[in-house]
Amino acid sequence: MASYTHSLSDRLAMEVATLLGAGRLPKAPGTWGTLATMPLCWWLQQRDMMAHVIVFTFVLVIGTWAAGVACRIYARQDPPQVVVDEAAGYLLTMWAAPVGWPWLVVGFGLFRLFDIWKPWPVHWLDQALPSPWGVMADDLAAGLYAGLGVMVLARMILP
C-alpha cells in the first residue's frame, strides 16, 4: 500500500483506522490499539458522562467509516491493522467503570479476554456481518461483556 496512490481522505481514514499507527506495530495489534485508548479512557474518567457519550459516538461513527476504507484498501474483511474497533470496544467497557487506574487495567484485561476468546455472539457478529459492520460489532459485543464484568467485580469489591 503506497500512500501516495491514495487520496487525502483515504490516508486520513487509515490513520484513524490504525489509531495513528498503533495497529501497524508488530505482534498483537489489537492489544496495542487497546493500550493506545487507555489514556483517553483515563481522561474521560475525569469528565462527566456526556463527554464519554460524545467521544464514544465520535469514535463509533468515524471509526466505522475509517474501518470501511481500510478494509477496501487492504482488500480484507477485517485487517489486523484496523484497531479503531478496539478503541470503540474498550470505550464501551469503561463506560460505567469505577474511576482509577486499577479499573482501567481490569477493563483492559477483560476486554482483551473477550475480544480474543470471542464467546457467542462476538464470534458470530465478526463472521456474519460485512465490513465495516462486523469489524466494529464484534468489539462492541466484547466491550459489553467486559463492561458487565467490570461492573460485577466492582460490585463485589467496592463497598
Output the nine-digit C-alpha cell for 128: 456474519
Q: How far is CA 54 from CA 16, 25, 88, 115, in A?
A: 17, 28, 12, 23
H helical segments located in the chain:
8-17, 29-45, 49-74, 84-93, 101-117, 122-128, 133-157
Q: What is the pLDDT along the chain (159 residues), one digit of tens a residue?
A: 544 468 999 999 999 999 999 999 989 999 999 999 999 999 999 999 999 999 999 999 999 999 999 999 999 999 999 999 999 999 999 999 999 999 999 999 999 999 999 999 999 998 999 999 999 999 999 999 999 999 999 999 987
List the chain domain ranges.
12-157
Sequence letter at residue 142: A
Measured CA to CA, the distance from residue 38 to residue 74 in angstroms comes to 26
Close Cβ partners of 102 (under 8 Å, ≥ 6 residues apart): none
Close Cβ partners of 15 (under 8 Å, ≥ 6 residues apart): 21
